[in-house]
Chains A and B, each alone.
Chain A
Amino acid sequence: MDAAGLQPAADAEDMTVMRVVARETFSRDMAEILAADIVSAYRSLDGTKSERLEPAVSPRRGHHAT
């Protein structure tokens, strides 16, 4: 508790939030892409979507894009 008689939220995790301020530069297109990216980032963190960090084909068969 602090001096004002307040205490941090009991369930701190529950009270952690994220914020997007839809300013003039935040287009509908950006909203679309961002929402998809958020879901996809969430999925890769919770393990329901696996991320491939290595090329799927070997350099002998596939050309590593430059």
Chain B
Amino acid sequence: MISNKVEPPAGNGPGTGLSATYALRYFTESVPRYEIPADGMPAGAACQLVHDELNLDGNAAFDLGTFTTTWMEPEAERLIVQNLGKNFVDRFEYPQTTEIHQRIVNMLGPLFNAPDQANFCGTATVGSSEAILLGLLAHKRAWRNKHRTGHPNIVFGADAHICWDKFARYFEVEPRVVPMAKDRFCSDAAAVRERIDENTICVGAIMGTTFTGACEPVREIDALLAGINQDRGWDISIHVDAASAGFVLPFTNPELVWDFRLSHVRSINVSGHKFGLVYPGLGWLLFKHAGDLPEDLVFYVNYLGDTMPTYTLNFSRGSGMVMAQYYNLLRLGYAGYKSIMENCLANARYFAGRLVASGLFDVLSTMELPIVTFRFRQKAGFTPFQLSRKLRERGWMLPAYNLPPTRRT
């Protein structure tokens, strides 16, 4: 979030400070809003002040549009609080935290069907965005290590999350975006074919788009690349953005082939804080082969007199969310995740059915994931933005938004 400088209003009238009403109990003067107060205040007062201000925020339990977790078990919360102050990057000080991270990566490799003989590797990230930036950066570097000249490009659908555009802009890779068709809300192999060439660092495939929850045809894209790489002597691979699906499909539909079983899928990201059921602040990036992560991108930190490889954009972070992920994996097991995901899917399908039955809405989601995207069946004298605002009266937070641009006709 970028916050701008605020010019303080002149004088000391209203608007210049936080004027709390607990006159006698806590405050006799207002507290400056945009300056560090000259003196502090009692802990209880500060806590009450911040707490009361935040009452203006929506209630997270009613936030139905978000993908991220808004509730965890009290036991998980206890572990999170206990580990907030442990810097995740201090391997020497917290060797057991490092060990637990390693266990989780080892649970996720097989969850995404890394072949037995594959020497996979992976890392925790702040979320799927960091995981995607790092994953694509590895593809870019691998491409550069083979091509001394040429300008790199990357192919993904207009349905991709904004972090894909962010990668293209921040890391100076030309984005070749597959537009959406009127009734197809994801990329397809034929459209990918038109856009790849010898300078394509990789093709993106999304399992569970942010817009409709659609799953892209990774299998077809994999088959396309198998043919073309062989014909042309290229080495284009796939990064799968499984931010949402990564913690759903392995439980609800393990037969669906979208992951490391496909030979060109070389890296996958998933959000721990979405269907991984952990609070915001956790993503995962996995490489099928340790060799897919170019060695010159890896940095080393001290670890019990040894060195430990790291691959992150930031350095310090708390360990709480990683521990919360471990807690969930132990607590729920495969069966627990499976029953929660099946329940989410059943509720999503039920809800979608109710919307369709009303005759007022069309559901655009294919419902492979518990994501229900819908639009008005007929033109109305008001917009979904107005409906969204109206629903807010009851407390529901339901975002309205525009789908990505379509192909020019």
Contact = CB atoms under 8 A, between A and B. Distances in A.
Interface of A: 1-2, 4-10, 12-28, 31-32, 34-35, 37-39, 41-42, 44-47
B351 A22 contact: yes
B173 to A, nearest CB: 13
A45 B398 CA distance: 16
A31 B348 CA distance: 8
A16 B277 contact: no
B111 to A, nearest CB: 18
A45 B374 contact: no
Interface string B335-350: 0000010011111101
A23 B374 contact: no
Given A6-B408, A38-B391, A21 B71 contact: no
A37 B158 CA distance: 32
A9 B404 CA distance: 8
B405 A31 contact: no
A45 B390 contact: yes
Contacts of B375: 14-18
Interface of B: 61, 64-67, 69-71, 158, 175-177, 179, 211-212, 275, 277, 340, 343-348, 350-351, 354-355, 358, 360-361, 364, 370-376, 379-388, 390-391, 393-394, 396, 398-409
B179 A31 contact: no
Given A18-B375, A22-B348, A45-B390, A37 B396 contact: yes
24 contacts: A2-B405, A4-B158, A4-B177, A5-B408, A6-B408, A7-B406, A8-B405, A16-B402, A18-B375, A18-B384, A19-B371, A20-B348, A21-B67, A22-B351, A22-B372, A23-B344, A24-B69, A24-B277, A24-B343, A32-B354, A35-B354, A41-B387, A41-B391, A47-B381
B137 to A, nearest CB: 21
B405 A16 contact: no
Contact of B61 (A10, A25, A41): A25
B403 A27 contact: no
Contacts of A2: 405
A22 B9 CA distance: 44
Given A9-B402, A42-B360, A19 B373 contact: yes
A1 to B, nearest CB: 7
Secondary structure call for the A interface: mixed
A16 B400 contact: yes
A21 B66 contact: yes
B138 to A, nearest CB: 24
B211 A17 contact: yes
A26 B403 contact: no
Contacts of A21: 64-67, 370-372
Contacts of B61: 25
Given A4-B179, A16-B384, 20 more contacts: A6-B179, A10-B409, A12-B402, A16-B401, A17-B212, A18-B65, A18-B373, A18-B399, A19-B65, A19-B371, A20-B371, A22-B345, A22-B347, A23-B70, A25-B70, A26-B347, A26-B348, A26-B351, A41-B394, A45-B390
A38 B409 CA distance: 34
A22 to B, nearest CB: 4
A5 B360 CA distance: 33
A23 B69 contact: yes
A8 B402 contact: yes
Q: Which of A10, A18, A39 has the most CB of B within 10 A?
A: A18
